[in-house]
Amino acid sequence: MASLTVEALEDLAADPAPRRRRRRPRVWRGLILFAAAAYFILPIFAALRFAFQNDSNQFSLYAVRAIPSQVGFTAAFVLSLKLAFSTLVLTLLLMVPTTIYVHLRLPRMRRVLEFITILPIVIPPIVLILGVLRAAPLWLKSSPYLLSLVYVVLSMPFVYRSIDSGLSAIDLRTLVEASRSLGGNWVKTMWRVVMPNLRAGLLSASVLTLALVLGEFTMASLDLWTTLPVWIAQFQQVDAHIATAVAMLSLVGTWLLITVIVSLDRSESRRSRRRMGQ
Amino acid sequence: MTDGALSSTLTSAPGVPGADVNVVPTWRRLGRRLRPGLAVAPFLLYSFLGLGLPILAVVDFAFRDPAGHLTSANVRLMAHNPYLLGFKNSIILAAITSVVPGVLGVILAYTIHTSRSGLLRRLVATASGVLANFGGINLTFMFIATIGSTGLLSVWLTYLHINLTSLGFNLYSFYGVVVVYMYFQIPLMVLVITPALAGLRASWREAASNMGASPWRYWRHVGIPVLMPSVLGGMLLLFGSAFAAYATAETLTAGTVTLAPIQIGNLLAGNAISGQVNVGYAIGLGMFVVLAITMVLYGLVRKRASKWLR
């Protein structure tokens, strides 16, 4: 809109060659968009093509079909899923009550929380895992769930920001006071009043956490656990077609998961809006 | 926990405030005073164990020899090759992949921001969010399939009698890493800079042109000065992201390129040269220092940028 009015004004101003001035930017715009689209789409296309080819460069589904029977694939996949699920549960249990409490009772603590949750972005994963491998007790180091505990830290920046912006968008204090004065206890207030209002924030926090854990390579490889990304990297030497097929499928799977969760939420909220309207 | 806090305030509410204090036992008053702290204690404890303690461990271990005695030898090694070279390369890599994608990102974001198609804008916003999080093994495979020795683009180019390898380009080297990093750095810049572009008000441009300023003068005296802090901030963020990245460079070059994070990985994985592990911790400490400086600068620039973006 704004650019429209500006361009209209420029046209009104006495311009010796209005045509040429208008057309040149359009050519540039097309060129820039084309170059960007080529740079970002070509690698995805090339990898997908490679995943659906056999060794003699013909279209084939052999790589995709062969995935489940490869040595170590199932174990790596299950381990990644277990880590993703346990990380998600732990993150939500830790961050949701803390963030709600700080919003309700300790608004001054918000700055502290903001500072702490920005730190995992400043400290690179490779340095963090160095410290964790030093500081963790032996019994914890022998368990893959040590990774879950660290992934909770990695997910803090996204999760805190998602929940925080979700809470800032609603009038939390009024909602809680209304529920309490109507006789709801704290559990009921949280479960029936605050959580439904927080759904969008919780959803994006969960999606980001799952995507983060399923794609994490640095920490898992240095902690010597074969999660899915680590397995793919190792399997590259055995069969590049199969390894690429797994990599692209995991990528597509993550996107599908995100799309499904987000669209489910959208249709759900539309339905509830309709219900309220009636 | 919180339930008790509220019920105790509710029961004491009808009483006279002054007299009420004496009724409540001392231990309960103490409990009430501590309660806010107790509610956030799990989070604070977790952050200390998960962030504070590991960082202290890195610092501690960087200053110890394999036998556990205090020494500054590891840290002093950082001033010599190959570790000095690792830091130098990492900083050059981060500088290139923050300035070039930074400029390209601004151009792309501006092109899309001024476009009339709402669909295009929404599409790019979503795609940037997804692509900025690309990295590691998936990205490596995508580029091997594109410009690896038998990659799609390489094959296409041979039809035009262009051979990337004979031109001196090798995907599995430093410049290969540069090309691959741009794939997530440009979308990251688009994400960071779009709010700043939205803050560039049309009325400023109209005011400038009403007063007879050419588009060039508008950019020279209004547009660029207003955008500059945001662009610099975005570039610092890209610098940090490229400097800290490990997975993509490691999976692409199999640990052969000399970068600080790759050296950490090699020292930790190479059990053959035990006794060198502490050197890895010294590199980690160095990386932490570089990133801390970057983020302090980012904070300063951000403060300046927020002046215009309300």
Domains along chain B?
2-62 (no CATH), 73-305 (1.10.3720.10)
Whose CA is closest to B142, among A227, A66, A232, A54?
A: A232
Q: Is A220 helix (H, G, I), strand (E, B) or coil?
A: helix
Q: A255 — contact with chain B (CB < 8 Å)?
A: yes
Question: Which residue in B has a C-alpha nearest to residue A149's C-alpha?
Answer: B50
Q: Is the per-residue pLDDT at A19 higher than 70?
A: no
Largest CA distance in chain B: 94
Q: How many CB atoms lie within 10 A of CB B1?
A: 11
Confidence (pTM): 0.79
pLDDT score, position B103 = 93
Contact: B111, A29; criterion CB under 8 Å: yes
pLDDT score, position A1 = 38
Question: Which residue in A has a C-alpha nearest to residue B55's C-alpha?
Answer: A131
Contact: A123, B281; criterion CB under 8 Å: no
Residue from the list B114, B145, B292 with its beta carbon closest to the beta carbon of A46: B145
What's the Cα-to-Cα distance from A226 to each of A66, A77, A154, rounded to whole Å?
19, 9, 19
B188 CA to chain A: closest CA distance, Å?
13
Residue from the list B54, B114, B138 with its beta carbon closest to the beta carbon of A3: B114
Contact: B54, A119; criterion CB under 8 Å: no
What's the Cα-to-Cα distance from A126 to each of A86, A219, A220, B284, rounded to whole Å?
22, 7, 10, 8
pLDDT score, position B256 = 83
pLDDT score, position A11 = 44
pLDDT score, position A86 = 95
Q: Is the per-residue pLDDT at A24 higher than 80?
A: no
Contact: B2, A101; criterion CB under 8 Å: yes
High-pLDDT (> 90) share of chain B, %: 13
CA B143 – CA A239 distance, rounded (Å): 17
pLDDT digit string, tens, across residues B260-292: 888 888 888 765 456 688 888 889 999 999 998
CB B185 within 8 A of CB B191: no
CA B295 – CA B134 distance, rounded (Å): 22
Interface test with B, best of A123, A129, A216 (most B CBs within 10 A): A123
Give me the mean pLDDT over the A72-86 stretch: 91
Radius of gyration of chain A (CA): 25
A257 CA to chain B: closest CA distance, Å?
13
pLDDT score, position A88 = 93
Interface of A with B in 44-73 (CB under 8 A): 44-47, 49-50
CA A4 – CA A10 distance, rounded (Å): 10
DSSP assignment string, B169-234? --TTSHHHHHHHHHHHHHHHHHHHHHHHHHTS-HHHHHHHHHTT--HHHHIIIIIHHHHHHHHHHH
Q: Is the per-residue pLDDT at A79 higher than 90?
A: yes
pLDDT score, position A241 = 85
Q: A96 — contact with chain B (CB < 8 Å)?
A: no
Query: For domain A71-237, which CATH number applies: 3.40.630.30, 3.40.1190.10, 3.40.47.10, 1.10.3720.10?
Result: 1.10.3720.10
With bands split at pLDDT 50, 70 and 90, how would you rate the model's confidence at A12?
very low
Q: Is the per-residue pLDDT at A134 higher than 90?
A: no
Interface test with B, best of A1, A44, A209, A218 (most B CBs within 10 A): A218
Cα B148 to chain center, whole Å?
Answer: 27
- Structure tokens, A3: 């650019």
Residue A204's identity, in one-letter code, is S
Contact: B141, A222; criterion CB under 8 Å: no
Q: A245 — contact with chain B (CB < 8 Å)?
A: no
Q: How many CB atoms lie within 10 A of CB A181?
A: 8
Burial of A130 (0-12, 13-18, 19+ CB in 10 A): buried
Whose CA is closest to A271, among A195, A182, A192, A199?
A: A199
Question: Which residue in A has a C-alpha nearest to residue B199's C-alpha?
Answer: A2
Interface test with A, best of B10, B142, B237, B276 (most A CBs within 10 A): B142
CA A23 – CA A8 distance, rounded (Å): 14
- All CATH 1.10.3720.10 domain ranges of chain A, comma separated, are 71-237
